[in-house]
Amino acid sequence: MDKLQAMTIFARIVEAQSFSKAAGTLSMPRSSVTTIIKNLERELGAALLRRSTRTLSLTDAGERYYASCRTILAEIARAESELSTDTAAPRGRVRADMPGVIGRALVLPRLREFEQRFPGIELVLGLSDRPADLIYDGIDCVIRTGELADSSLIARRVGELNWITCAAPRYLKEYGEPQTLGELASHRAVNYLSNATGRPLDWRFHVYGEDHGMTMQSRFSVNETEAYLQCGLEGLGLIQLSEFVALPYLTSGRLKEVLASVRCSPVPISLVYPMGRNASGATRAFVDWIVEIFGQSEFGPSR
């Protein structure tokens, strides 16, 4: 059997948590994927996956084998990348997804530069607050904010966001400015809804050396950054958002930061993409470019 192909298929199944999704991303019949994994398990003399009608999980042997697959496939990808020459410019389509705020502030203004450097790459960009599923949606890489759950994908931290609590002068004139966290109980807030759960996100504050979450009561909740900002500007309540988004309005006086002494820790920004052999030359070129422009931006770490 083609061991390398089998390892690639096995890794993709683990990433997708589904035989059907893995088959779709590999443009293979599901029956072929199933047969290859059965033959792989037979040759290894060990079950790699536990299957049921609804769940898919790794056995102990599967976890060890998957870790080895990741290392081997990543090393192959590195070797292939090093063999690339300047004359073999990357070509192909790259589908990327990112928060609208980051895309508009950082990526869109530099697309002409990307086109000049990589004329053979077609970019398909998705800008949304709703996180995309790389495997299910066929996305090559995504930019995500916040701590990431354990994943079989590669994650590279490229920057950070500072979050602040603020309000419009109109709101502060009517309700006063909170001086302590205890005073928040008598204030109004606008909540931001998680696109993953549909529930309001906790507000985060740094107290006694640690970040803590707080549930805020609210008459208004939205699930999109621009709408959330607009609610704050209209004086509908306190809001908590990235300093980068708020900065122009802080400068103009349309927003004022409150509770600055208990700002939460910076939120990481990560670039997430499939491991090893699953990443094309075009995707790797895009990833390296994103890392480069983040390093030059206000989003970069420790800036």
Alpha-carbon separation of residue 174 from 9, 135, 182, 276 (angstroms):
61, 49, 19, 56
One-character DSSP codes across 135-184: HHHT-SEEEEESPPPP-SSEEEEEEEE-EEEEE-HHHHHHH----SGGGG
The total domain count for the chain is 3
CATH of the domain at 195: 3.40.190.10
β-partners of residue 273 are 154
Q: Mind listing the pLDDT tens digit for each residue in 97-137? A: 998 888 988 899 999 999 999 999 999 999 987 777 777 77
Is pLDDT above 90 for 175?
yes
Neighbours of 30 (CB within 10 A): 14
Q: Is residue 302 exposed (0-12), middle (13-18) or buried (19+ Cβ within 10 Å)?
A: exposed
> Would you list the DSSP string of 116-128?
HH-TTEEEEEEE-
Residue 232 near residue 188 (C-beta atoms within 8 A)? no
Measured between alpha carbons, how far is residue 49 from residues 92, 113, 188 in Å? 33, 45, 50
Answer yes or no: do 203 and 291 share one domain: no
Q: What is the pLDDT of residues 6-22, one digit of tens each?
A: 999 998 888 888 888 88
What pLDDT score was predicted for residue 124? 94
Tokens of 263: 């700002």
Q: Tell me the backbone φ, ψ of residue 18, rounded to 5 degrees.
A: -170, 135
Q: Is residue 71 part of a domain?
A: yes
Same domain, 179 and 133: no
At 196 the pLDDT is 73
Residue where a domain stops, chosen among 83, 113, 137: 83
Same domain, 100 and 241: no
Asked if residue 184 and residue 111 are part of one domain, the reply reads no
Residues 19 and 109 in one domain: no
Residues 25 and 170 in one domain: no
Q: For residue 86, what pLDDT band results from cuts at 50, 70 and 90?
A: very low
Cα 58 from Cα 40, distance rounded (Å): 14
Under the banding of pLDDT at 50, 70 and 90, the label for residue 91 is: confident
Asked if the model's pLDDT at residue 85 lies above 50, the reply is no
Domain termination site, one of 28, 49, 83: 83
Is residue 213 domain-shared with residue 246, that is, in the same domain? yes
Q: Is residue 300 part of a domain?
A: no
**114 within 8 A of 123, measured Cβ to Cβ:** yes
Instruction: Using DSSP, state whether 133 is helix, strand or coil.
Output: coil
Same domain for 192 and 132, yes or no, is no
Q: Is residue 302 part of a domain?
A: no
- Taking the CA of residue 236 as centre, how many other CA atoms within 13 Å lie in the half-sphere pointing to its CB? 18
Least confident of 169-183, 221-235, 267-281: 267-281
CATH code where residue 17 lies: 1.10.10.10
Whether the pLDDT of residue 150 is over 70: the answer is no
pLDDT for 61 equals 92
Is residue 138 situated within a structural domain? yes
Is the residue at 13 inside a domain? Answer: yes
Do 181 and 256 have their domain in common? yes
Say whether pLDDT at 80 is over 90: no
Of 210, 164, 165, 163, give the one whose Cα is nearest residue 184: 165
Asked if residue 64 is part of any domain, the answer here is yes
Tell me which residue range forms the domain holding 250.
163-262
The per-residue pLDDT for 263 is 93
Whether 124 and 146 map to the same domain: the answer is yes
Judge if 45 and 119 occupy the same domain: no
Residue bearing the bigger pLDDT, 216 or 198 = 216
- Per the CB < 8 A criterion, the answer to whether 14 and 40 are in contact is no
Give me the pLDDT at residue 222, please. Answer: 94
Weakest mean pLDDT among 50-54, 82-86, 106-110, 288-292: 82-86
Q: Is 233 within a domain? A: yes
Domain limit, last residue, from 83, 118, 133 = 83
Tell me the pairing of strands 121-127 and 92-98. Answer: parallel
Question: Do 144 and 282 lie in a common domain?
Answer: yes
pTM across the whole model:
0.64
Domain-embedded: residue 301: no
